Structure 1
Amino acid sequence: MKTRSEYDLLGNMDVPADAFYGIQTQRAAQNFSITGVPISHFPELIKALAMVKAAVARTNQELKLLTDEKADAIVSACLDLVEGQHHEQFIVDVIQGGAGTSTNMNANEVIANIALTKLGHEKGEYQYLHPNDDVNRSQSTNDAYPTAACLAIQFAADLFVPSLASLKKALEGKAREFSHIVKMGRTQLQDAVPMTLGQEFDAFAVTLGEDIERISEACALLCEVNLGGTAIGTGINTPEGYAKRVVEKLAIISMKPLTPATNLVEATSDMGAFVFFSGILKRLAIKLSKMSNDLRLLSSGPRTGLGEINLPAMQPGSSIMPGKVNPVIPEAMNQTAYQVIASDLAVTLAAEAGQLQLNAMEPMIIYNLLNSLKMLKEACRMLEHRCVQGITANEAVCAAHLENSIGIITALVPYIGYSNASRIANTALHTGNTVKALIIEEQLLSEEQLNLLLSPESMLSPSKVVI
């Protein structure tokens, strides 16, 4: 392999001659091999880093800190990255020491070397355009990296929310399809009162819709950035007015309503917005897992469980039991949710571990948030297309459960009294007779009255029936 020699404060090192990254990236790649997941796994982060560097280059150009030639070359290199080129050059593991310095330098070196080739120079000829002096000018990792993270998470959320909204729409479709099917509701896994299968699915849709709104609110918190604060938020090595200018440019480039943090020192060390966003993802994961549990329960059987719905059969379920088909799609969603919930704990611990003017654990926070968004996006698509769209109802089973249930007695309490209702329920439980038959036998209500009181119109909403 052909190499070129580069130098940093630790000495010389050979770097692959055709690599756009440089010596600091190579050192980091050797030091950190933890997850096996490189920065390139998250294109949103590379795109966000490039936007930050482009906004900074234009601001430095305006303030006469960069020549037009250098600024144009840097911005052109950043545009290549935004368009998806050269992402394979981001080789550093996402989990790293140094509060993201290795990620920032990976970006600085790649951008510098792309820009050098555009200017007609060789990679590594940093005397013409330098990763630190030019690409990283007026910045620190401590403001460039978290600002890029705020953007990257919003970009990832922009990709995730449509899959969540599509899942919600599919559940609404099933709610309409099943709106006429009356069944028993259950609390604590015991018969409760009647409802429709449509109401059950509509509740799934509504609870997911709530978190689409919460994600939007969480993204709004990520629009306040600390770019311009440099090392600890004091703005050292930046000219007056730089912070406001650079954030305005980044807002235009990213098409996100970014604003400078009110207090850059606070914003440089505080991870509150990331913690809030992680909490929303955990809340959503819990809802998705609970819904998946419900789908598995409702489809349990097929002969000896609840069996009120059928999940589409996706693959054989057993290597020993012929004909067995498992609810593999909801199970996969459950496991995705558990990972997201665990990631929230990791984010929480990492945010708490910040010390004084910086949080060195930011790479852990950013990795977990981006990974959770990526997993949830794919899991929601999977649940919609490989499960929800193919769900069918077992109307006869729902009707049989309703007919044989003791829970319908609740609808009759206002008319026969709690004591009579309790006695009838207990008799039905021990004799196997239906509630309806026992009430008619004891002449507590007529069959005509019962039919009226046990009609869907009476049982499924506040009653308008008068007898």
Structure 2
Amino acid sequence: MATRLEHDLLGDREVPAHVYWGVHTLRAIENFPITGQTISGYGDLIRALAVIKQAAAQANHQLGLLGTVHKDAIVLACEEIRGGKLHEQFVVDVIQGGAGTSTNMNANEVIANRALEILGHGKGEYQYLHPNEHVNMGQSTNDVYPTALRLATFWGVQRLLAAMARLRDAFDDKADEFGGVLKMGRTQLQDAVPMTLGQEFRTYAVMLGEDEQRLYEASALMLEINLGATAIGTGITAHPDYTPLVCEKLSALTGIALQTAPNLIEATQDCGAFVQLSGVLKRVAVKLSKSCNDLRLLSSGPRAGLGEINLPARQAGSSIMPGKVNPVIPEVVTQVAYEVIGNDMTVTMAAEAGQLQLNAFEPVIAYSLFRSVSHLAAACDTLRDNCVVGITANRDYLLDTVHRSVGLVTALNPYIGYAAATEVATEAHASGGSVYDIVLRRGLLTREQLDKLLQPEALTSPRWVTL
């Protein structure tokens, strides 16, 4: 295989001649064989790095620090990468030491070598355009990497929000469909009081809507960036006017109203925004898992369980039990929730572990957030498409459970008194008889009064019935 010779502070190394990355990336490949997942699998991160380098080149050119020829070549290379080209050249492991330096250098080298090609030079001919001196001008890993992480996370969250909205709409549609289906509500897995299946499904939609709002608020924290901070927040090596100008350029290129942090030294070391976002993702996961557990419970059986609803059959459920169908979609969503909850602990510990002016553990924060966001979005879509839209209700069975439930006596409590209601409930439990029949036999209410009190609309809303 043909190679080219590149040099860094540790010495000379042979790099494959055809690749766009260089010696710094080569050493990272050797040093960090951790997950087997390279940053090429995270397109948002690659696009974020490219647009940051493009904004920096434009800002430095406007400040008279970067020549037009260099600027144009860097900008064109960045635009190609933003369009999806050369992503396979981003080959460093997503988890790495060095606070993301390997990721930043991988980007610098790929952009520089593509820019060299654009200018008619060979890869590695850095005397004409250099990864550090030109592509990384006015920058440090310590402001580029966290800014790229914030942009990539923000883009991912927008897709998650869209997936959550689609799932919420599906639950809302089911709530409308099941609006008149009477059933028994339960507390502590015991019969409580009647409700409609529509009310039950509306709850899941409301919970998602609340979480969407919290997630929207947390994602807004990603729009405060530390680009221009360079090494520790003092802005050393950058032009005095670079910081506001590069933020302006980056905002224009992305179409996002980004803001420079008011204190760049604080912003360079503080990972609080990532902790906040991760906590909200955990909230989403917890409530989504709760909803899935409800769906599994309500559909359990189908004959030896609750059997109130039917989930769409998606695959054979057993290699030994013929005809068995399992709730595989809620099961996979719940597993995603467990992963997100674990990722939140990783983010928490990594953010806490930073020392002094920099947090060296942002790569594992990035890895955890990217997985949480993307997996939650996929989980919401599969729950909607492969489960919720196909749910049906066992309407006659649900109504029968209401008629047979001792919980009905609660609705009669205001009219016959707590003591009498307790006696009715006790007898119903012991005999297996219906509350309706026992109340009628005891002469506590007439048939007309019972029919009036036990109308669905009287059982499922705060309504006083005059007898």
Q: TM-score of the superposition, structure 1-length normalised?
A: 0.99
Q: What is the match of residue 49 of structure 2?
A: 49
Q: What is the match of residue 382 of structure 2?
A: 382
Percent of pairs identical after alignment? 58
Please provide the CA RMSD for this pair: 0.7
- Aligned-residue offset at 1:385: 0.7
Note the alpha carbon deviations across 1:274-313, whole angstroms, 9 max, x for none.
1110011000000110000000000000111100000001
Is structure 2 residue 39 aligned with structure 1 residue 11? no
Counterparts of 1:197 and 1:453 in 2: how far apart (Å)?
20
- Helix, strand or coil at the partner of 2:35: coil
Runs of 4+ in 1 over 6 A off after TM superposition: none
Note the alpha carbon deviations across 1:74-111, whole angstroms, 9 max, x for none.
11111011111110001111000000000000100000
Q: What is the match of residue 331 of structure 1?
A: 331
Counterparts of 1:386 and 1:222 in 2: how far apart (Å)?
32
Q: What is the match of residue 340 of structure 2?
A: 340
Counterparts of 1:422 and 1:92 in 2: how far apart (Å)?
69
Counterparts of 2:226 and 2:55 in 1: how far apart (Å)?
14
Note the alpha carbon deviations across 1:306-340, whole angstroms, 9 max, x for none.
00000001111111111111001100000000000
Q: What is the match of residue 157 of structure 1?
A: 157
- Aligned-residue offset at 1:423: 1.3
Which amino acid in the other structure matches residue 318 of structure 2? S
Note the alpha carbon deviations across 1:354-413, whole angstroms, 9 max, x for none.
000000000010111011111111111111111111111000111111111111111111
- Aligned-residue offset at 1:136: 0.5
Counterparts of 1:252 and 1:407 in 2: how far apart (Å)?
61
Question: What does 1:46-445 align with in structure 2 at a 5 Å threshold?
Answer: 46-445=46-445
- Aligned-residue offset at 1:212: 1.3
Note the alpha carbon deviations across 1:10-69, whole angstroms, 9 max, x for none.
111111111011111111011111111110111000001111101100010011111011
Unaligned runs of 5+ in 2: none
Which amino acid in the other structure matches residue 148 of structure 2? A
Which amino acid in the other structure matches residue 259 of structure 1? Q
- Aligned-residue offset at 1:158: 1.8
Which amino acid in the other structure matches residue 64 of structure 1? G
Q: What is the match of residue 450 of structure 2?
A: 450
Counterparts of 1:15 and 1:161 in 2: how far apart (Å)?
42
Counterparts of 2:73 and 2:392 in 1: how far apart (Å)?
58
Counterparts of 2:13 and 2:197 in 1: how far apart (Å)?
66
Counterparts of 2:82 and 2:464 in 1: how far apart (Å)?
61
Counterparts of 1:419 and 1:169 in 2: how far apart (Å)?
44
Which amino acid in the other structure matches residue 273 of structure 1? A
Unaligned runs of 5+ in 1: none
Q: What is the match of residue 38 of structure 1?
A: 38
Counterparts of 1:463 and 1:158 in 2: how far apart (Å)?
42
- Aligned-residue offset at 1:464: 3.6
Which amino acid in the other structure matches residue 394 of structure 1? N
- Helix, strand or coil at the partner of 1:20: coil
Q: Would you say how many aligned residue pairs link Structure 1 and Structure 2?
A: 467
Counterparts of 1:191 and 1:392 in 2: how far apart (Å)?
22
Which amino acid in the other structure matches residue 247 of structure 2? V
Note the alpha carbon deviations across 1:98-130, whole angstroms, 9 max, x for none.
000000001000000110000000011000000
Which amino acid in the other structure matches residue 456 of structure 1? P
Counterparts of 2:124 and 2:302 in 1: how far apart (Å)?
66
Counterparts of 1:455 and 1:294 in 2: how far apart (Å)?
26
Counterparts of 2:236 and 2:336 in 1: how far apart (Å)?
43
Counterparts of 1:79 and 1:397 in 2: how far apart (Å)?
60
Counterparts of 1:409 and 1:290 in 2: how far apart (Å)?
29
Note the alpha carbon deviations across 1:222-258, whole angstroms, 9 max, x for none.
1111010100001101111211111111111111110
Counterparts of 2:63 and 2:88 in 1: how far apart (Å)?
33
Counterparts of 2:158 and 2:130 in 1: how far apart (Å)?
34
- Helix, strand or coil at the partner of 1:384: helix
Which amino acid in the other structure matches residue 440 of structure 1? L
Counterparts of 1:457 and 1:250 in 2: how far apart (Å)?
56
Counterparts of 1:121 and 1:423 in 2: how far apart (Å)?
94
Counterparts of 1:142 and 1:397 in 2: how far apart (Å)?
62
- Helix, strand or coil at the partner of 1:256: coil
- Helix, strand or coil at the partner of 1:15: strand
